Structure 1
């Protein structure tokens, strides 16, 4: 999980979470004693699902879970941490600088702010939103041969079924559910992976057609009033 030279970095990050993270309101005081098992290791095993040398964007990363932990475990990855709240990005910038994580970039903003600007091999998240909403935020950031790789709970099968219409409309591939961290964390971490159905026909970016027609009707109406 953590190579011998990376383990001290993971331990220092956990220490910062348990101290500065609690003081700044990033982590609840009750979570501090169980950060290592419940949060850090649980996030670190996600690295098993990410290809070598991939570019990764962790949306809604919060205090760096799972993105910063994956970055510590996998220095071969190029990772962007996207988070809208200033107090969180300030903390992340400080941790990245202290740990010397030169392969990590912190971006203050929502996932939507990166739509049409960047794409990534893998887009990750942990406890951010139900799958249907998560797809809307994540898939515009997924490169043609990339995938959404999100940590999920026991309700993931229900979330997939409720998202069928969205998956079909935006030409997503069939979601794959699997576990990582078997024998490392108990219970293992559940992950859902969603690729594009056809990398040559990705569904983004798209503008809702009804709004476009409505705008043209308004323009025509305005022209008639002027004339």
Structure 2
């Protein structure tokens, strides 16, 4: 209470002490990871991107949980984080792996504004922010890896993410306890979308108390299936006619290393 008897707004609780594991994962980019976590705990909460109750567990349940996804990535790949929201998992992965070119794909303006500010403040030259929907981006963006977290059920997510892959790329979806069930229910859809192999794997063993569970879907020669191939061909024709370019609205953020 204030002195005049009115209720005062309680201060936001901080994310707590930086875990020892964060130093092993982020190395010399640990200060940037700490600052990102602070931004999630302040601006992220104030703008409705992170729930206030999540702040005390930002490190374990969100930042580190996402960063260990970097274990699955080959060197120097391009990655698109679909429905990036507050930048999870894209920003932790970009911090842990500066060799990976990351595109944060997000349709909502208030979220892309937050992402732009984070990328600028952290100086992430390997990150590009792109405002748009995945289905509008097919043929305008092609990457080696697609990631997503808490975006949609696996079959729907695959319909958005698989068409953005290059041939023989992979989709990595953070799914937690529902991973096996969603994978079982989505196998027919994955086959139609050009997947040739899928599995549930754990990452962060020996680093996290609870390893992150990931559905890994590996694409064949035609990611996304026939419909995606048609959309890519249409986008290519439009590009040759001078109508290509920005995907789904606008590109903003980081440096010039983000692959188009």
| TM score, norm. by length of structure 1 | 0.86
Instruction: Return the offset for 1:2.
Output: 2.9
CA pair 28-200 structure 1, distance change in 2 beyond 3 A? closer
Write out per-residue CA displacement over residues 127-168 of structure 1, whole angstroms, 9 at most, x where no aligned residue. 111111011000000110211111112222221221122122
Of 203, 220, 226, which aligns to 2:225? 203
Map 1:49-198 to 2 at 5 A.
49-196=72-219, 198=220
Deviation at 1:188, TM superposition (A): 0.4
Equivalent position SS for 1:76: coil
- Alignment counterpart, residue 59 of structure 2, candidates 32, 36, 48: 36
Gaps of 5+ in 2: 1-23, 232-260
Distance 2:127 2:58 in 1: 22
**Equivalences, count:** 207
- Give the direction of change, closer, same or farther, for the CA distance of 1:66–1:201 in structure 2 (3 Å limit): closer
Please give the alpha-carbon distance, in whole angstroms, between the structure 2 residues aligned to 1:152 and 1:117. 27
Q: Distance in 2 between matches of 1:23 and 1:61?
A: 18
Structure of greater relative contact order (alpha carbons < 8 Å, 6+ residues apart): 2
1:101-151 Cα deviation digits (max 9, x unpaired): 011000111111211211100000011111110110000001102111111
Conserved? CA contact 1:144–1:202, under 8 Å:
no
With structure 2 as the length reference, what TM-score do the two structures score?
0.76
Name the CA distance, whole Å, in 1 between partners of 2:26 and 2:157: 31
Task: Say whether 1:15 aligns with 2:34.
Answer: no
SS for the counterpart of 2:85 is coil
Question: 1:16 and 1:59 mapped to 2: Cα distance?
Answer: 21
Structure 1 Cα separation of the partners of residues 223 and 148 of structure 2: 24
**Quick one: structure 1 residues 157 and 4, their matched pair in 2 at CA, closer, same or farther if it must change by over 3 Å?**
closer
Instruction: Give distance in 2, aligned partners of 1:43 and 1:81.
Output: 14
Give how far 1:12 is off: 0.3
Q: Secondary structure at the match of 1:132?
A: helix
Do the aligned partners of 2:198 and 2:216 also contact (CA within 8 Å) in 1? yes
Inter-partner Cα distance in structure 2 for 1:80 and 1:187: 27
| Deviation by residue 1:155-204 (Cα, 9 ceiling, x = unmatched) | 222212211221222331121211000121121001111112x3268624
Aligned to 2:235: none
Instruction: Determine the C-alpha separation between the residues in 2 that align with 1:21 and 1:53.
Output: 29
Larger radius of gyration: 1
Q: Hey, what's the Cα distance between the residues in 1 that align with 2:131 and 2:180?
A: 32
